[in-house]
């Protein structure tokens, strides 16, 4: 019979840097095999951590994933680095960069991996949307608003709806069709859908 003690000042300190490593590993595995395919052993192995370390920090697989999604700000675009070319098309085309496409692709694969959890946990659906999908739509809204402000497009443009078009079609292609997002595909959305929809066709 041993004495149960509780001396919070004593003993080795929990290493805070392990949290980020584990959450990153969880997102990697999530993007690769999805929530159901992911096992705690996979995440632990990827993070070179013991399973006990994971359960010391998160009570369950579900809570680990929820936390990982909530903390994935690092993939967000740097607002200061956003293009401002003077034309809507210039701004949209300037977003077609390898880095941004890679990050966007990973976000969409994470979203695909979360799919099966969304119906069980509506608050996760909300978190996932605002963390994964919303930031890029917000960028599009800004581009559209600037275009309105400079008189490039009509003031009654449905900014919210148009800003979702690219996101929706990219998500559809990645998640449903399982096809890669290419620069050609993104250019085609811009030139054949978005710009015509805001009245900026090829001036025919």
Considering only 101, 118, 138, 148, the residue that binds a second copy (CB under 8 A) is 118
How many residues bind a second copy (CB under 8 A)? The answer is: 44
Number of residues this chain uses to bind DNA (CB under 7 A): 33
| x/- letters, 137..166, toward a second copy (CB under 8 A) | -----------------x---x--xx-xx-
List of residues 6+ apart from 126 with CB closer than 8 A: none
Burial class (CB in 10 A: 0-12, 13-18, 19+), 184: exposed
Nearest to 196, CA basis, from 88, 93, 97: 88
Residue 55 parent element (H or E): helix 51-57
CA angle 39, 75, 45 (to 5 degrees): 25
Residues that bind a second copy (CB under 8 A): 33-37, 111-113, 115-116, 118-120, 122, 125, 128-129, 133, 154, 158, 161-162, 164-165, 167-169, 171-172, 175-178, 188-189, 192-194, 196-199, 201, 204
Residues that bind DNA (CB under 7 A): 3, 5-15, 18, 38-41, 44-45, 47-53, 55-57, 59-62
């Amino acid at each position: 019979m041993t004495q149960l003690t509780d001396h919070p000042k004593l003993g080795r300190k929990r290493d805070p840097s392990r949290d980020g490593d584990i959450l990153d590993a969880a997102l990697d595995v999530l993007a690769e095999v999805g929530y159901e395919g992911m096992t705690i052993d996979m995440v632990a192995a990827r993070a070179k951590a013991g399973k006990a370390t994971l359960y010391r920090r998160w009570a369950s697989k579900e809570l680990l994933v929820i936390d990982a999604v909530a903390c994935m700000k690092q993939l967000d675009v740097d607002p200061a680095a956003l293009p401002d070319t003077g034309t809507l098309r210039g701004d949209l085309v300037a977003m077609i960069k390898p880095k941004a496409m890679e990050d966007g692709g990973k976000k969409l694969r994470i979203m695909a991996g979360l799919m099966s959890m969304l119906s069980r946990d509506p608050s996760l659906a909300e978190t996932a949307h605002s963390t994964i999908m919303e930031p890029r739509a917000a960028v599009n809204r800004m581009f559209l608003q600037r275009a309105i402000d400079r008189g490039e497009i009509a003031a009654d443009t449905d900014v919210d709806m148009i800003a979702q078009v690219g996101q929706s079609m990219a998500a559809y292609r990645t998640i449903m069709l399982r096809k890669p997002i290419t620069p050609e595909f993104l250019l085609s959305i811009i030139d054949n859908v978005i710009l015509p929809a805001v009245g900026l066709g090829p001036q025919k």
